[in-house]
Amino acid sequence: MNPLTDAAGLAADPVADPPERRELRRELRKLVGATSPVDRTLALDEAEEFDDELHTALKRLGVFAIGGHPDHGGDGDLRDQVAVIEELGAGPTSMAVFMVVHYMGTHILSAHGSAAQRQRWLDPLMAGDAKVSFALSEPGAGTDIAAGMRTVARRDGDGWVLSGQKTWISGARRADVLVVLARTSPADGSTVDGITMFLVPAGAPGLRVRELRTVAVHGLDTDEVFLDDVRVGADAVVGEVDRGFRLVLGTLNRERINAAAGAVGAATGALAAAVAYARERTAFGSTLGAFQAVQHRMVDGALAVEAARSLLARAAAVEAAGGRADLLSSMAKIAASEAAVKVTTDGMEILGGAGFSRELPMQRWFRDVRLWVFAPLANDMVRNYLGERLLGLPRSF
C-alpha cells in the first residue's frame, strides 16, 4: 500500500518502528477515524471546542502515561510519544498540540517532582484524569524570557505569593494545574538562575485566565494568565528554589522533538489530501496529478517531509538513549515546521477554490502548522543557536 493513502495519511517506517510501536500507530489511526473523522474535526474547529470525546478515547488507549515515571504507570519512551503526536497531527492537530504540552508536564513531574507532587498531580495526569498547562512566556518576553521575566514570587511565611502575567499559554482554561515560572531572586549575570518553578492549582484565589482569539489550533484554548497575589505552599516548588529555569532547559529537546512530530504529522496528512485531490480533479482533459508542475510540487513536499521525519527519528532515538540531542532536535524542528508550511501552501494552491473552502481540511492544516514556525521557539532563533553551537560562528543575539 502507498503510505500516503494510509487511513491517517501517515507514512510510518515499518523498519524503524518495532512491532509495539506499529501496533500503537494502528490503534491510534482506528481510534481517530472512529472518534474524530474529518467532518467532526472541522466542526469542532469551527466551534473552537476541545474534543472531549477524543480525549476520553485516548485515555482508554493509555497514551497519557507514555514516557512517564515507571513507578506511576509509565511505559514506552519519547519515540512512542512522537508516534502518538504524528498520528494526531495528521488529523486533529489541536490534540497533537495538547499532547506536546501534556508530555512536557509529565516529564517535568516524572524527572523532578517530589513523591507528594507525583501522587497529587502526576498520577491523574498519566491516567488522563487531569490536564496541565505550562505558563512561561509573558507579554514583554518570549524567546528572551529568562532575562525579561516580570512575574515574581516572594516568600510569605512557609509559602509563596505569585504576582504577574503570562500570555500565549496553551490549555490554561481547561487545566487542573499550571506549571508557572516566576522570578524569586534578582537576575544574575547569565539570567538562568533566580527563577523557580511552581505548581499552581486551577481555581487558586487570585488566578485568572482570559482566552485569546487565535487564527488557528482552535481545538485548544490559548490564554492570558493573571496571577494576583496567588498564594501557594512550600510544597508547590518543583525542584530547587532559584533553579527552575534549568528544569525548563532540560525539557526543551523533548518539546522541540514533539513539536516536530506534530508538524510532520500535519504535513503528511495535508500531502495525502493534496495527492488524493490531484488524482481525481479533472482539467483540460486530464487530471491535475498528470501535470508536471503539480507533480513536482507534491514530490518536493514528500522529499521535505521525509527528510524532516528522518531528522526527527534520529533526534528522538538519541534523546531516548540519554544522549545529547540539542542540535538534532533543533534541526528537526526547523525542517518539520518548514516542510509543513511548504506542503500546506502548495496544497492550498493545488486545491484552488476547494482549498479556500472551510468545508475541507486543507485550510485548517494551512493555518495550524504556522504555529510550529515560531513555537516552541522561532525558527530564526533556532538558526542562531545552530550557527553558534553547530558551526562555531559568533553569537548573533
Residue-wise pLDDT for 296-305, tens only, equals 999 999 999 9
Residue 260 lies in a domain: yes
User: Which range is least confidently modeled, 128-132, 145-149, 164-168, 213-217?
Assistant: 145-149
What CATH number has the domain bearing residue 106?
A: 1.10.540.10
Residues 140 and 214 in one domain: yes
Confidence of residue 5 (pLDDT cuts 50, 70, 90): very low
pLDDT reported for residue 52: 98
Nearest-angstrom CA–CA distance, 85 and 58 = 12
Residues 143 and 184 in one domain: yes
Residue 18 lies in a domain: yes
Neighbour-count burial for 328-350, b at 16+ CB within 10 Å, e otherwise: bbbbbbbbbbbbbbbbbbbbbeb
Residue 175 lies in a domain: yes
> Considering 131, 157, 190, which residue would you say is the last residue of a domain?
131
What CATH number has the domain bearing residue 359?
A: 1.20.140.10
> Considering 131, 153, 182, which residue would you say is the last residue of a domain?
131
Catalytic residue at 255?
yes
If one counts every other C-beta atom within 10 angstroms of the C-beta of residue 117, the result is 18
User: In sequence order, which residues have a C-beta less than 8 Å from that of residue 168 and are 6 or more positions away?
Assistant: 137, 142, 212, 222
Residues 282 and 342 in one domain: yes
Of the candidates 255, 306, 319, 349, the residue annotated as catalytic is 255
Residue 88 lies in a domain: yes
Contact between 330 and 257 under an 8 Å Cβ cutoff? The reply is no
Nearest-angstrom CA–CA distance, 311 and 309 = 5
Closest to 63 in 3D by CA, of 33, 93, 34, 20:
20
Residues 352 and 277 in one domain: yes
Residues 375 and 326 in one domain: yes
Residues 24 and 145 in one domain: no
> Considering 66, 99, 131, which residue would you say is the last residue of a domain?
131
Instruction: Kindly state the average pLDDT of the residues 140-165.
Output: 94
Instruction: Kindly state the average pLDDT of the residues 14-39.
Output: 91
pLDDT reported for residue 143: 86
Residue 396 lies in a domain: no
Residues 63 and 166 in one domain: no
For 87-126, write each residue's pLDDT tens digit: 999 999 999 999 999 999 999 999 999 999 999 999 999 9
Residues 116 and 12 in one domain: yes
Nearest-angstrom CA–CA distance, 195 and 151 = 10
Residue 8 has pLDDT above 50, yes or no: no
pLDDT reported for residue 284: 94
Q: What type of residue sits at position 331? A: M
Residue 14 has pLDDT above 80, yes or no: no
Residue 189 has pLDDT above 80, yes or no: no
pLDDT reported for residue 190: 59
What CATH number has the domain bearing residue 193?
A: 2.40.110.10
Residue 144 has pLDDT above 60, yes or no: yes
Query: Where do the DSSP E strands lie in the chain?
Result: 132-135, 152-156, 159-170, 177-183, 195-201, 207-212, 222-233, 237-238, 282-283, 286-287
Q: In the block, which residue shows the cell 500570555?
A: 167
Residues 370 and 261 in one domain: yes
* Angle at CA of residue 74, ends 72 and 80, nearest 5°: 165
State percent of the chain over pLDDT 70: 95
If one counts every other C-beta atom within 10 angstroms of the C-beta of residue 190, the result is 10
- 254 compared with 17, residue with greater pLDDT: 254
End-to-end Cα, the chain, rounded Å: 48
Residues 257 and 238 in one domain: no
Residue 168 has pLDDT above 60, yes or no: yes
Closest to 21 in 3D by CA, of 69, 77, 70:
77
* Count of structural domains within the chain: 3
Residues 227 and 291 in one domain: no
Residue 395 lies in a domain: no
**Domain carrying residue 196:** 133-243
- In degrees and rounded to multiples of 5, residue 55 shows phi and psi of -60, -45
Residues 16 and 39 in one domain: yes
Residue 39 lies in a domain: yes
Name the CA radius of gyration of the chain, rounded: 21
Residue 70 lies in a domain: yes
Confidence of residue 170 (pLDDT cuts 50, 70, 90): very high
Nearest-angstrom CA–CA distance, 100 and 345 = 24
Average pLDDT value over all residues in the chain:
94
Q: In the block, which residue shows the cell 484565589?
A: 205
